[in-house]
Structure 1
Amino acid sequence: MNKESLDEQLDTTVEVDSQEILEKFDSESRFRNLNIPWMIRLVSLLAVGLALFHLFTSFTGPLITLQHRALHTGVILALVFLLFPARKKAPQQRATVIDFLLAFLSIATIVYIFVDYMGIVQRAGLPNHTDIIFSFLVVMLVMEGGRRVVGTGLTVMCSLFLLYALFGPHLPTVIAHRGYSFEDILTYMYLTTEGIYGTAIGVSATYIFLFVLFGSFLNRTGMGQLFNDVAMAIAGHTSGGPAKVGVISSGFLGSINGSAVANVVTTGAFTIPLMKRTGYSKNFSGAVEAASSVGGQILPPIMGATAFIMAETLGMPYTQIALAAIIPGLLYYLGVIVVVHLRAKKIGLQGMSRKELPRMKIVMKERGHLVIPLVILIYMLFGGFTPIYAASWAIISTVVIAMFRATTRLNIKNILQALEEGTRNALGVAMACAMVGIIVGVASLTGFGLKMTSAILILGNDMLILTLFFTMIASIILGMGLPSIPTYIITSTMAAPALMHFGIEPFVSHMFVFYFGIFANLTPPVALAAFAGAGIAGGEPNRTGFISLKLAAAGILVPYVFVYAPALLMQNASVGEIAWVMITTTLGILALGVAFEGYFLTDVNVLFRLIAGVSALTLIIPNVVTDAIGLTLVIGLVIVQVLHWKRNAVAPEKIV
């Protein structure tokens, strides 16, 4: 590959600052750029210390539950106050006196849990004045820290839930509850493992932190470059190649990355200019990257770290969840690739010259060894080791294996930087988990989740399809503007129980709401991933969002399929049943792409686009009759297209 030539071409195309785009749409990336040496050292000490603590306890075992989670949360809060300004006009190169005070109070909340732990246990349900003061302090710190990192959306939601817990007896009967005192609510949030220190922050303090750290080490070794180069070598030369490169590389990176927006910016800064240069429109280019990046959150092995919370919540082995998610995740990407390919064929786009593309042999020789830590991770996860243990050994193996080549080797400085960077990257996830703890805690305390379930069932009129539709809408609304982990926790608490009323397995219900919570990143008016893609491409945000929804249409339909046919999730099904559902769903996705793009072997008119759409829906609905109808329509469509092509004496191009 003539990399220098390609870089020069990209430099003339890229007219935006990707970091600026990232900070605009991803509040977790708005770090202060500290320039005072002792402040820099203090932040590094806290960040590296927390990373080493989690690595150490991954081998020795965690502390007592409440203490372990309190330490994790307290140090995270201290770093948040030092690194994130309270407002845009606050100093960006130094922390203020108020920030240091809040950081000190954050550490004090840890000290109190450790010093008076036995007293807290013995006073369970009968808190003293000091307990109440520290409980109030922690709730306020979490709310303010979350506001700085995650944004106002989740902060407002937490505030509303706390007000609901306090004023429940005065609300309309349909949502009212018996009421709780101010002290009861606060202590429930701080002194138990049902509120702030609940399951969400527990998973953050164990699995999630280590996997974010693992991603940081991979990033330091150049794994992102490997993904891009492999994708270029595979698909760069095909019709509309850069768009397919964007889909593949975003899928690779997204499967181990916890942020769709960060994924858009990381890969999109490279692939979007290439798409525009090839001939794709600004809006379509941004939408391809957005849809591809969001898909990474539902693709194993990491699934935005949500797989681990799902395993903890449902009491299922992680391996079972990861295996079940493979087929739907791949079908999602198939849907995106189909639309991208048909669009390229329809408007006559070519691929890139092989001369400017990397050769797979050279790519693998230079960086191929970086895949070994991922292989080790997957082997250990499926070999019966705990995710914590597997992640820790994956981190260690990354450092060791990176030594094989000078271009990927990490020195002591690089290792310390990776430890600090990993902790910084975990701040947003941890704060979101702490805030979600407030929401889930209130829902548990007041029974709000049951009321939400009842409301969905009433709207659904006791019909499964309507209940699925309203659950989808509720999940999209609840997921707007949130990272994948809090999205899953909130939707699984508020919306998933409605589906279980119809006898749907809990795992299937949780996967359904998680999918649609994630798709909120593509759904205007709050489509952060799509807006980030539009920002890089120079497109119109809402238009980009609607195009990305079209690209993700397969992903929107697939959850309905696995509700009616759990075989798609490999649940209680034979190999034959799984294979048949895969075949019919795949054909349905191909037909859906034809319906959207109006092209197959040649142009497809409106009538046949409608037929393709009907065949897609009938194939996706798992039923013998609908499958027969869908297959008949697809065969008819193919015959008509072949005859049309022959009449025009145009040889069909090889479909790549």
Structure 2
Amino acid sequence: MNNSPDTRPGASEEAVDKTPETIAKGVDEEVIESNRRLFSGWQWLLFGAMAIAYSSFHLISLNVYPMETWSFRIVHICGALILGYALYTGARFSESHAISPIGRWLSIASYALMLPALYALFQVFQINRAMNEGALRIDAAIETWHFGYPLIFATAAAIVISWFHRHSRERLCPADLVLMISAIASAGYLIIMFSSPMRASTGTAFAPIGISWAAIAGSLLILELTRRVTGLALVVISTIFLIYVFVGPYLPGFLGYPGLSLNRFFSQVYTDAGILGPTTAVSSTYIILFIIFAAFLQASKVGDYFVNFAFAAAGRARGGPAKVSIFASGLMGMINGTSAGNVVSTGSLTIPLMKKVGYPARSAGAIEAAASTGGQIMPPIMGAGAFIMAEITGIPYTEIAVAALIPAILYFASVYFMVDFEAARKGMRGMRKDEIPLFSKLVKQVYLFTPIIILIAALFMGYSVIRAGTLATASAAVVSWFSPNKMGIAAILTALRLAGTMSIQIIAVCACAGLIVGVISLTGVGARFSSLLLGLAGVSQLLALIFAMCISILLGMGMPTTAAYAVAASVVAPGLINIGIQPLVAHFFVFYFAVVSAITPPVALASYAAAGISGANAMQTSVTSFKIGLAAFIVPFMFFYSPAMLMEGTWMQILRVGVTATLGIVLLSATVQAWFFGPVKAWMRLVMLTGAMFMIYGGIYTDIAGLAIGGGLFMLQRSSHGGGTKPVASG
């Protein structure tokens, strides 16, 4: 493409004619993971129908025919396990369709394991019949020998075989079929027992031993699926917590506790004290509903429109693609429940364009990672974090969404000015007019934002989250009829299938996080951690907050946002509340650091995903994204020192803190990038950092001092650099 301007008569009209209708295509395409099977023929129809049925089950149960709570959550997890083992392999795919001799023996072993798995499932029907005929409980020997042992043996052996049994991408591994049967057997038994008076015996010596066997099998299935869809990080942490249950009584100091027997622990961990607790409560209602909503938006190509709209609005600014990344990733990440997933969906377009206008590969990846992570703190959806916070704290969802507004503005302001100052310092241009879509054309389709507007309006009008989410989903289908991508029956079924597939990862993560939450609540380790924080607070509250920050980041490393927050909220938040911090402030503090663990070295999932696209070194990218998202490491401390940041206080207090903190963030960005209205010398950076900290702190006197410093630097820079001219290449 010729970069020189065309001065011929009528050239401007030609340029308009050549302006692309869109620049972003494929943002809404389904992401196929490297370990995901690609079925065809009858298998594609079967598992596609199962995914559609799974999504439809939730819509019907949440809106029309509600189920008993525990049974509903068990079915919710069981469905995700069945779909997960059908779609995700436990080992690498084989490039050859031929089966090796070892593979043949593993197939034979897998088919043999179907016998104990089917026998355990048969015993579930037998137990159900006995209970219906008036039996109060089943003999422990029968439950152990005819249900527990066959189920555990089949589950454990099939998991091990699945690690080594390599198949082609189009085939279902027989070991995974065994795991699907085990999931049904485990869930079936638990539903039967929890629907009987035996439900009251969980956690006691009188609990049926079968509950423990079903819970052990269910826990193994959850851990293995989590490994397949998110990697080892969460599985390793969960395993450490599970080991603690049985070695804790032998540990010294505050880690020691009296101990729990295998039966008492596992009979209770698969209840609302653990796996069926807050994390699964949220994933089975709010999260699954918003995944369906996101799938409807995706099926109607709204994601493409969001990104094109961002290009039209911000593409011509200096460093344009980077600013597009901020807006587009914020919009997409608000709905998407994982920072890394958001990087993959939008970064494949924005990262190459950022490199094209002059950003180094590591900066391009880091900007996308920081922006995608910011989507997780963007109200009203906050990547489902707001719903978990509402469930755990009991604070109304609307209050949480409103409280998140100023912190989100500060975070995105920080990322924006980091990007802008780097673009100015390096003399980068924006995109040319003929490289971006016409805003005047895209604004005619602004009605595509209607589903999100309806969602926000319904929530603040007092509708329940479930009703608001359902209305927004229905409106996404209706609005599509006025767009080029109309949703008919086929597109709606595609959206439901997509939702069923997209939900697997987050449901597995929430169930696994529930396992950790169960360990924390049943062993009391959270209370002992609270006493440790209380002791630190006696020395210094700031020291206690820094310690809480480190633990929250450490617990969140390598984990998706939802799980990271759920675990940190169980361990850290109660301790912060005990040292006198308000529950809303404590949970926002923990939530922010759980989110930014995605860009915190050395384990930064979002940064690593971005580095994979940009081609830069992963560690360099994570360090750069940490620098760009620096505000997110400072803002949580502002919650403690300035509660007005979370809308706690009078409107004048909130306005003052919001404005001065934003100005402080601008100065902080200028300090990091060594550019304000021109180059910034070392001594000026030191003064600038002092002014930034004064305004970020939020006190009335520090605000005045910070404003004075900022105003002085502004005047000095303006006079030194000719009214703010910068070496920016023409766009």
Quick one: distance in 2 between partners of 1:536 and 1:392? 35
Kept in 2, the 8 Å contact 1:319–1:382? The answer is: yes
2:469 corresponding residue in structure 1: 391
Structure 2 counterpart of 1:265, from 321, 334, 344:
344
**Residues 18 and 269, structure 1, Cα contact 8 Å, conserved in 2:** no
Q: Is the 8 A contact 1:70 1:109 kept in 2?
A: no
Letter in 1 for 2:390: A
Cα shift at 1:62: 2.9
- Which of 29, 32, 38 pairs up with 1:34? 38
2:319 matched to 1:240? yes
The answer for the alignment partner of 1:154 in structure 2 is 234
1:513-532 to 2 correspondences below 5 Å: 513-532=590-609
- Distance in 1 separating the partners of 2:420 and 2:450: 31
CA distance in 1, matches of 2:315, 2:662: 24
Contact 1:236 1:242 in 2 (8 A): yes
Match of 1:278 in 2: 357
Q: CA separation in 1, counterparts of 2:450 and 2:23?
A: 33
Q: Secondary structure at the match of 2:631?
A: helix
Whether 1:348 and 2:424 are equivalent positions in the alignment is no
CA distance in 2, matches of 1:578, 1:122: 48
Equivalent residue, structure 1, for 2:272 = 193
SS of aligned partner of 2:539: coil
Q: 2:662 aligns with which of 569, 572, 586?
A: 586
1:625 aligned to which of 689, 701, 718: 701
The within-5 A match list for 1:430-449 is 430-449=507-526
Give me the whole-angstrom Cα distance separating, in 1, the residues matched to 2:16 and 2:604: 36
Greater Cα offset, 637-646 or 196-205: 637-646
- Aligned-pair distance for 1:123? 4.4
Cα shift readout 1:438-473 (whole Å, capped 9, x = no counterpart): 111111111011122233444555311111111111
Q: Distance in 2 between matches of 1:547 and 1:329?
A: 20
Deviation at 1:82, TM superposition (A): 1.0
Aligned counterpart in structure 2 of residue 600 of structure 1, from 646, 657, 676 = 676
CA distance in 2, matches of 1:113, 1:450: 29
Is 2:184 the partner of 1:180? Answer: no
Distance (whole Å) between structure 2 residues aligned to residue 641 and residue 226 of structure 1: 39
The 8 Å contact of residues 2 and 355 in structure 1, kept in 2 or not, is answered as yes
- Residue by residue over 1:585-606, the C-alpha shift from the partner in whole angstroms, topping out at 9 and shown as x without a partner, is 0111111111111111121111
Deviations 1:379-433 (A, max 9, x none): 111111111111112111111221123x220122221111111111111111111
Range moving further from structure 2, 175-184 or 627-636: 627-636
- Does the residue aligned with 1:179 lie in a helix, a strand or coil? coil
1:212-251 per-residue CA deviation (whole Å, 9 max, x = no partner) reads: 1100110111111111111111111111111111111111
1:325-344 CA-to-partner distances (Å, cap 9, x unmatched) read 01110110001111111111
Classify the secondary structure of the residue corresponding to 1:174. helix
1:56 to 57, 60, 75: 60
Equivalent position of 2:581 in the other structure:
504
Structure 1 spans left out of the alignment, 5+ residues: 24-28
Higher mean Cα deviation, 579-588 or 82-91? 82-91
Equivalent residue of 1:93, what SS? coil
Q: 1:135 aligns to what?
A: 215
Letter in 2 for 1:338: F
CA contact 1:201–1:430 (8 Å) conserved in 2? yes
Contact 1:260–1:294 (8 Å) recurs in 2 = yes
Contact in 2 for aligned 1:2/1:357 (Cα 8 Å): no
Letter in 1 for 2:59: L
522-531 or 620-629: bigger deviation: 620-629
| 1:550 partner letter | K
1:75-94 → structure 2 map (5 Å cutoff): 75-89=79-93, 90-91=166-167, 92-94=169-171
Q: Distance in 2 between matches of 1:285 and 1:476?
A: 24
Answer yes or no: is the 8 Å Cα contact 1:402–1:408 preserved in 2.
yes
The amino acid of 1:141's aligned partner reads L
Question: Is the Cα–Cα contact under 8 Å of residues 32 and 93 in structure 1 kept in the other structure?
Answer: no
What letter corresponds to residue 75 of structure 2 in structure 1? L
TM-score by length of 1: 0.93
**C-alpha displacement of 1:497:** 2.2
Q: Could you tell me the TM-score, scaled by structure 2's length?
A: 0.84
- State the 1:119 CA deviation: 4.5
1:474: which partner in 2? 551
Q: Give unpaired runs (5+ residues) of structure 2.
A: 1-14, 94-165
Name the residue aligned to 1:376.
454
Residue type at the aligned position of 2:362 = N
* Partner of residue 139, structure 2: none
CA distance in 2, matches of 1:114, 1:214: 29
- The 1:415–1:3 alpha-carbon spacing in structure 2 relative to 1, beyond 3 Å, is farther
The answer (yes or no) to whether the contact 1:369–1:402 under 8 Å persists in 2 is no
Equivalents in 1 of 2:188, 2:494: separation in Å?
A: 28
Q: Does the Cα contact within 8 Å between 2:19 and 2:437 map onto a contact in 1? A: no
Q: Cα distance 1:182–1:297, how it changes in 2: closer, same or farther (>3 A)?
A: same
Distance 1:391-1:7 versus aligned 2 partners, 3 A rule: closer
3-state DSSP of counterpart to 2:253: coil
The farther-off stretch of 380-389 and 151-160 is: 151-160
Which amino acid in structure 1 is aligned with residue 458 of structure 2?
M
| Distance 1:527-1:2 versus aligned 2 partners, 3 A rule | farther
Post-superposition offset of 1:127: 2.1
Moved more, 84-93 or 557-566: 84-93
CA distance in 1 between counterparts of 2:241 and 2:55 reads: 32
CA contact (8 A) 1:257 1:302 kept: no
Which is worse superposed, 255-264 or 356-365? 356-365
Structure 1: how far apart are the matches of 2:288 and 2:440? 34
CA separation in 1, counterparts of 2:197 and 2:213?
15
User: 1:7: how far off?
Assistant: 11
Q: Does 1:404 align with 2:482?
A: yes
- Cα 1:379–1:545 shift into 2, 3 Å: same
CA contact (8 A) 1:238 1:350 kept: yes
1:415-454 maps to which residues of 2 (within 5 A)? Answer: 415-454=492-531
CA distance in 1, matches of 2:598, 2:386: 18
State the SS of the aligned residue for 1:385.
Answer: coil
Aligned partner letter, 1:394 = A
Q: Distance between the aligned counterparts of 1:2 and 1:549, measured in 2?
A: 40
Whether contact under 8 Å (2:190, 2:211) holds in the other structure is no
Residues 589-643 of structure 1 deviation map (CA, whole Å, 9 limit, x = unaligned) = 1111111111111211111011111111111112223222212211111121122
The answer to whether residue 76 in structure 2 is matched with residue 72 in structure 1 is yes
**Deviation, structure 1 residue 275:** 0.9
> CA contact under 8 A between 1:32 and 1:94: conserved in structure 2?
no
1:128, distance to aligned residue in structure 2 (A): 2.2
What amino acid does structure 1 have at the position aligned with 2:663?
Answer: L
TM-superposed CA distance for 1:652, in Å, is 6.3
**Partners of 1:461 and 1:605 in 2: CA distance:** 41
Shift of 1:61: 5.3
Partner Cα separation in structure 2 for residue 55 and residue 215 of structure 1: 14
2:404 aligns to what SS in structure 1? helix
Q: CA separation in 2, counterparts of 1:426 and 1:448?
A: 31
Task: Name the count of aligned residue pairs.
Answer: 640
Q: Percent sequence identity over matched residues?
A: 36
Q: How does 1:293-372 map to 2 (within 5 A)?
A: 293-365=372-444, 367-372=445-450
Structure 1 pair 107/4, CA: closer, same or farther in 2 (3 Å)?
Answer: farther
Deviations 1:48-79 (A, max 9, x none): 11111111122125311110001001111111
CA contact (8 A) 1:139 1:189 kept: no
Deviates more, 1:416-425 or 1:102-111: 102-111
Cα distance change, pair 227–19 in 1 and its aligned pair in 2 (3 A): closer
